[in-house]
Amino acid sequence: MQKRPGGRSARVRDAVRQATLAELAEHGYDGLTVENVAIRSGVHKTSVYRRWGNAEGLIADALELARGEPWPVPDTGSFREDLREIVRSVQREFADPATGPVASAFVTAAALSAAAAQSLHGFFATRHDQAAVVVRRAVERGELPADTDVTDVIRMAVAPVYYRLFITHEPVTARDAERAADAAAAAARAGVI
Amino acid sequence: MQKRPGGRSARVRDAVRQATLAELAEHGYDGLTVENVAIRSGVHKTSVYRRWGNAEGLIADALELARGEPWPVPDTGSFREDLREIVRSVQREFADPATGPVASAFVTAAALSAAAAQSLHGFFATRHDQAAVVVRRAVERGELPADTDVTDVIRMAVAPVYYRLFITHEPVTARDAERAADAAAAAARAGVI
């Protein structure tokens, strides 16, 4: 299917995506249906089925669009502050009632669907690359060893936030986020990442 | 209900629990039903309903029993090796086809059910306390600062394994596990955890 940017196809895609996100926010992955997305978006049900197939297809496309969105990388001049800001932004995203339920629904969808897991995998590959810019800068400034695994520094920094949210079901404070960032920064400086 | 250790009640509970674990291994949380657990355990369906209520109750009880099981804490004499062994044991548990699907089913159940999340929260609180013994020993030996948050060292060490498994859906190697342990150990030595 030919997709002209800004054309009818792009408008339909955006409407379906917005409806998908709104449905996820309200009902979670378990409540996501092609029917409800069709009603909410005003796009005919048969069109949604033809183009997106099912709930997994809707999730995959919403993640594909999220992946392509601009994602501002902090540049405070301090590696520690940059890393803290990245982890705090993750913590804030989940704490925000406007974005948290949708982000959580993506994680749940991936636990239940291999296709959604594949989409989420791709989404995080992009985010890791984008966030790793702050680590690469620190390497270039000579603050970190040249052989630092820049994306693994990002994984180590954000992992404790996700661990509390989705594994142990513990609260996550801004202080927890900062501490996780500081731990990853210290480990990177020690040359173990 | 009075529960005599080793009595009929304990035997029934164990049979139901074993059936719950086997059903989770085969069908995941989505496929867990009181009916199937009753058939598999040989315990009458009405008894299972009366005592466990539903799939959430079965999950909660299986976790409660897992929580009470002995969990060997490594004691190699080296903090780094002890921590590596803890994280590797998590990595191995999920890689093992006999235990991985069940452990994954608990995480998925917690994403879908607040009651299961509460059970998993309690399970991890116990595991963190048990594993933190290796960190406490390192503090006592003077290897780590006296104000080290011993359970947070455990969280930071294991979080990257869970992050790869349940968030980014990336493979996890024994080397990834060791690196995560080394990162947490370095951060603890630097006094940031």
**Chain A partners within 8 Å of B182 (Cβ):** 187, 192
Which tokens go with A59? 């999730």
Residues of B in CB contact (< 8 Å) with A are: 30, 104, 107-108, 110-112, 117-118, 120-121, 124-125, 128, 152, 155-156, 158-160, 162-164, 166-170, 179-180, 182-187, 189-190, 192-193
Q: Do B108 and A111 touch (CB under 8 A)?
A: yes
- Summarised one tens digit per residue, pLDDT across range B33-43 is 999 999 999 99
AA identity, residue A112: L
AA identity, residue B73: V
Q: How far is CA A96 from the centre of its chain?
A: 14
How much is the pLDDT for B30? Answer: 82
Task: Give the Cβ contact number of residue B147 at 10 Å.
Answer: 8
Q: Do A183 and B180 touch (CB under 8 A)?
A: no
- C-alpha A171/C-alpha A178 separation (Å) is 14
Helix, strand or coil for residue B92?
Answer: helix
How much is the pLDDT for A174? Answer: 97
pLDDT tens string for chain A (193 positions)? 444 556 788 899 999 999 999 999 888 888 899 999 999 999 999 999 999 999 989 998 998 888 888 888 999 999 999 999 999 999 999 999 888 999 999 999 998 888 899 999 999 999 999 999 999 999 999 999 999 999 999 999 999 999 999 999 999 999 999 999 999 999 999 999 9
Q: How far is A157 from chain B (nearest CA, A)?
A: 9
Q: How far is A101 from chain B (nearest CA, A)?
A: 12
List, in order, residues 6 or more apart from A176 with CB less than 8 Å away: A91, A160, A161, A164
Burial of B134 (0-12, 13-18, 19+ CB in 10 A): buried
- Summarised one tens digit per residue, pLDDT across range B141-182 is 999 999 999 999 999 999 999 999 999 999 999 999 999 999
Residues of A in CB contact (< 8 Å) with B are: 30, 104, 107-108, 110-112, 117-118, 120-121, 124-125, 128, 152, 155-156, 158-160, 162-164, 166-170, 179-180, 182-187, 189-190, 192-193
pLDDT less than 70: residues of chain B: 1-6
How much is the pLDDT for B4? Answer: 52
The interface pTM score, or ipTM, of the predicted complex is 0.92
Burial of A2 (0-12, 13-18, 19+ CB in 10 A): exposed
- C-alpha A21/C-alpha B62 separation (Å) is 35
How much is the pLDDT for B149? Answer: 97
**Chain A partners within 8 Å of B189 (Cβ):** 190
- C-alpha A76/C-alpha A139 separation (Å) is 15
**Chain B partners within 8 Å of A147 (Cβ):** none
Helix residue spans in A42-148 (DSSP H): 45-52, 55-68, 79-95, 100-112, 114-140
Contact B179, A190 (CB under 8 A): no
How much is the pLDDT for B135? Answer: 97
- C-alpha B146/C-alpha A63 separation (Å) is 44
- C-alpha A25/C-alpha A93 separation (Å) is 13
Length of chain B: 193
Task: Give the Cβ contact number of residue A170 at 10 Å.
Answer: 16
How much is the pLDDT for A6? Answer: 62
Residue B81: φ, ψ to 5°: -70, -40
**Chain B partners within 8 Å of A158 (Cβ):** 163
Task: Give the Cβ contact number of residue B138 at 10 Å.
Answer: 22
Q: Do B160 and A155 touch (CB under 8 A)?
A: yes
AA identity, residue B126: T
How much is the pLDDT for A158? Answer: 98
Size of interface A-B (CB pairs under 8 A): 125
Domains of chain A listed by start with CATH number: 8-66 (1.10.10.60), 74-189 (1.10.357.10)
The C-alpha angle with vertex A165 and arms to A92 and A21, in degrees rounded to 5, equals: 60
How much is the pLDDT for A168? Answer: 98
Residue A75: φ, ψ to 5°: -145, 75
How much is the pLDDT for B71? Answer: 85
**Chain A partners within 8 Å of B193 (Cβ):** 179, 183
Q: Do B183 and A187 touch (CB under 8 A)?
A: yes
